[in-house]
Structure 1
Amino acid sequence: MLQILTGFGFLSGMSYPFRLLGVFKSHPRLISYIIVPILLNFVIAIFLDVGLFLFGWEVTQVLTDTIIQRLDLFLLNLPQWLGGLDYLIIVLGFLLRIIFGIILLILTGFLLVQFGVILGAPWYGKLSEELEKIKTGDVKVIDVGFFGDIWRAILFEVKKLVLIISIGFLLFFLNVLPGFGTLLSAMGGMLLTGTIICLDFFDAALERRRLTFREKLGTIQKSLPASAGFSVVCLFLIAIPFVNLLTIPFCVGGGTLFVCDRLLLKGLLPSDNQSLISQ
């Protein structure tokens, strides 16, 4: 019954970023690991907000105005008794601005995560190790050397980029289909973004075990629908300007707690030996 009420783990997945508050309360020394990442997020956010967000907002305004103008031209050819549709166009224009604004906030927060997680990796990595030690009593690390770590980090980012471009390419063509094409494309884009978010926030715990990129993707599928709930709440938290400077470290820490509870303690992660052989 509890499983049904929590959406078979969906709501439980949403709780993980906030569970870090309880860990910090009982282990306040861990707070020191998020101070530098928060400062880094602040610096990155200045450049993103001043550059990308302002530019993106102008683009969305132009795009919205173009859509409204085309609809206005379409209405000119309709009978006069349909003139009341003008009010519908006004409402539609308002809704489009809200939708485009939300998408822009998510994209800005998404980029903040990409840069913030990479630059804050040393502190996030240490936080993740301490959290895993608290949850499981031990930390498993497969050492591949300094250059091996760098190579794996670069390869991880490249594979994420390939995934984004390949799926994004398909979604672009889906968008040109009449009818529900745009809606399906938007839904696909949100699924893709949620997947990348899970990869970023789970990676601190998964990378210590040197899982392959495909195995990391597999962990998201194995932990559904809890991983979907986790990605939804993280997308919300990273999309709130200024608040996301603080919430991104909580999403990173929550990702490690998620992996420990939903994957590691349940024995759902590939064995270390299999991961090394499959690379």
Structure 2
Amino acid sequence: MSQAFKDLFSGIGYFFRGLGWVARHPLQWLFGLIPALIVLVVYAAALGALAWNLGDIAGWLTPFADGWSEWPRDIMRVVAGIALFGASLFLAVLTFTALTLLVGDPFYENISEKVEESQGGAPPEPDVPLMTQIGRAVKDTVLLGLVALGFALVFFACGFLPVLGQTVVPVVAAFVSGYFLAGELTSVALERRGLLRKDRFALMRRNRGVVVGFGVATVVVFLIPLGAVLAMPGAVAGGTLLVRERLMADSLVTGGDDGSRVNG
């Protein structure tokens, strides 16, 4: 088996190891459900409203088909509806995690720290003022939302491609969303080590296979009804294990623009 496949399956393993960790620590799992449930209610309402009005929205998006005969027009609008809802799911999966981590920062910080302590000890918190940390978290969430929106528009447009739009495009979307989702889930442990967004993604690029494997496994489970809520604490735990054992495997990693050096 090639190294790429080994890394991919290794990344998947980290997700399930995270689920295993919270299964052994049920109070931490229950603790981590609270912010995910809050955000789920908002997202479920938004996606439910979209699904309810999908036919009307698909018709509004395809005015050029108004003059077509019934069968081609209906096919076009079904494809448009599938593409729109698929792009919306892609956007929801990415931003759900970012928003849940933002809302539940103290919850998931605590889970991540407990994971670190169970594996030999957590590194000391960086000496950064609380308001600075909050500002960075908000900025990162907004930037991720904009990136996710851009990709969602691309995947929505590609969804109109015959066959490819309903087969290849969803697979590519899963890999892209998995990569960015892994970036969010590892951010808690990486920020504890003083790494800013630019440095975190540079580290992820050097470990792309394991990162994508971890992220894709998370995406698949998050797409299951209630999967995002039930698996969120385990995903954070798995992301922390991934950081400790793979992303920070080097003894020293160059920090961000401030030139800091962070211990692994």
> How does the TM-score come out when normalised to structure 2?
0.76
Q: What is residue 246 of structure 2 aligned with on the other side?
A: 262
Which protein is bigger by CA-based radius of gyration?
Answer: 1
Where do 5+ consecutive residues of structure 2 fail to align?
none
Q: What is residue 248 of structure 1 aligned with on the other side?
A: 232
- What is the CA distance between 1:37 and its match in structure 2? 3.0
- What is the CA distance between 1:19 and its match in structure 2? 0.6
Q: Secondary structure at 1:210's aligned position in 2?
A: coil
- What is the CA distance between 1:118 and its match in structure 2? 1.2
Q: Distance in 1 between matches of 2:216 and 2:53?
A: 26
Q: Distance in 1 between matches of 2:164 and 2:229?
A: 34
Q: What is residue 82 of structure 1 aligned with on the other side?
A: none
Q: Deviations over 1:117-171 (max 9, x none)?
A: 1121111111111212333444243221223322322332243345445x54983
- What is the CA distance between 1:225 and its match in structure 2? 1.0
Percent of matched pairs sharing the same residue: 20
Where do 5+ consecutive residues of structure 1 fail to align?
77-85
Q: Distance in 1 between matches of 2:37 and 2:137?
A: 23
Aligned AA for 1:220? M
Q: Distance in 2 between matches of 1:98 and 1:171?
A: 14
Q: What is residue 81 of structure 1 aligned with on the other side?
A: none
Pairing 1:124-163 to 2, within 5 Å after superposition: 124-163=108-147
Q: What is residue 49 of structure 2 aligned with on the other side?
A: 55
Aligned AA for 1:153? A
Q: Distance in 1 between matches of 2:99 and 2:143?
A: 16
Q: Distance in 2 between matches of 1:63 and 1:195?
A: 30
2:22–2:234 Cα contact (<8 Å) kept: no
Q: Distance in 2 between matches of 1:70 and 1:21?
A: 47
Aligned AA for 2:259? I
> How does the TM-score come out when normalised to structure 1?
0.72
1:16–1:255 Cα contact (<8 Å) kept: yes
Count, aligned residues? 259
Q: What is residue 33 of structure 2 aligned with on the other side?
A: 38
37 and 215 in structure 1: CA distance in 2 versus 1, 3 angstrom threshold: same
Q: What is residue 13 of structure 1 aligned with on the other side?
A: 11
191 and 17 in structure 1: CA distance in 2 versus 1, 3 angstrom threshold: closer
2:83–2:160 Cα contact (<8 Å) kept: no
Q: Secondary structure at 2:253's aligned position in 1?
A: coil
- What is the CA distance between 1:267 and its match in structure 2? 0.9
Q: Distance in 2 between matches of 1:125 and 1:95?
A: 41
Q: Distance in 2 between matches of 1:59 and 1:278?
A: 51
Considering only aligned residues, what root-mean-square deviation do their CA atoms show, in Å?
4.1
Aligned AA for 1:34? W
Aligned AA for 1:55? A
| Range moving further from structure 2, 141-150 or 103-112 | 103-112
Pairing 1:180-199 to 2, within 5 Å after superposition: 190=174, 192-199=176-183
Q: Distance in 1 between matches of 2:234 and 2:162?
A: 39
12 and 248 in structure 1: CA distance in 2 versus 1, 3 angstrom threshold: same
